[in-house]
Amino acid sequence: MPGDRKFFVGGNWKMNGDKKSIDDIVAFMKTGPLNSNTDIVVAPPYCYIQYSRDGLPANVEVAAQNCYTEKSGAFTGEISPLMVKDLGATWVITGHSERRHIMGESDELVAQKTRFALDSGLGVVPCVGEKLEEREANQTMDVINRQMKAIADKIEDWSKVVIAYEPVWAIGTGKTASPEQAQEVHEKIRAWLANTVSADVAKKTRIIYGGSVKGSNCKELAKKEDIDGFLVGGASLKPEFVEIVNAAS
């Protein structure tokens, strides 16, 4: 449970959906009921941001899954945070493990994207997390601290930052980190923030967990002191997402 931090649940639709399936998601989000004490944000593919924004209830915010580091210009195939904002989205996810490991995004690029999106007025959900071989080699916190440092070096104002801890081995695999495993890392990230940034930022910044979060495991995870919400992939496309939004109730 997050103390006085507001619970935050993000739905990352990844490269899924079409207008018809988005209509179905909008329908179950409208039915809810959605806990008003939770910040709720869904991230459709870029091309459906406007369509999703138009359909979703006003208390569900919309995010982009990525964005570039420039306002505009000759960057074929890229999308600016200003365009994302123009379509009514208010958040962006940066450094998702699929961007880092499939598209080869570096810590530095993720940090630049995070900074530019914040400067453009978006809230940002930077993602960090270790791969299975890194966990097995006891490098979990080395990897996360390195990813955190790159991001933290570029952030001045933390008020619109929500950190997502997503162990790569738990994403889309059905293998959730146990509540204890997740809590252990969340606690260490918060301690890192306290030591490196400030006690105030450590206390106020939400750290959410992602990786095979489902209706059946969300309540146990939500009980942990340093787990302030979730970033949900597969289950955010299904009606059980409502249950996850309400996990802290």
Contact residues for ligand PGA, defined by CB under 6 A: 12, 166, 171-172, 210-213, 231-235
User: Quick check: 81 and 122 in contact, CB under 8 A?
Assistant: yes
Supply the minimum distance, in Å, between the C-beta of residue 207 and ligand PGA: 14
For residues 43 and 202, which CB has a smaller minimum distance to ligand PGA in the complex? 43
Supply the minimum distance, in Å, between the C-beta of residue 194 and ligand PGA: 26
For residues 2 and 167, which CB has a smaller minimum distance to ligand PGA in the complex? 167
166 is annotated as an active-site residue = yes
Give CA–CA dist 209/166, Å, rounded.
6
186 is annotated as an active-site residue = no
Task: Give DSSP secondary structure letters for 231-246.
Answer: EESGGGGSTHHHHHHT
Q: Exactly one of 61, 96, 98, 130 is catalytic; name it.
A: 96
CA 160 to centroid of chain Cα atoms:
12
For residues 202 and 229, which CB has a smaller minimum distance to ligand PGA in the complex? 229
Give CA–CA dist 146/107, Å, rounded.
8
Q: Exactly one of 98, 105, 134, 166 is catalytic; name it.
A: 166
Supply the minimum distance, in Å, between the C-beta of residue 80 and ligand PGA: 23
Give CA–CA dist 245/249, Å, rounded.
9
For residues 57 and 172, which CB has a smaller minimum distance to ligand PGA in the complex? 172
Supply the minimum distance, in Å, between the C-beta of residue 105 and ligand PGA: 14
User: Buried (b) or exposed (e) across 47-58, using 16+ Cβ within 10 A?
Assistant: ebbebbbebbee
Give CA–CA dist 171/193, Å, rounded.
24
Residue with the shortest CB distance to ligand PGA? 233
Active site residues: 96, 166
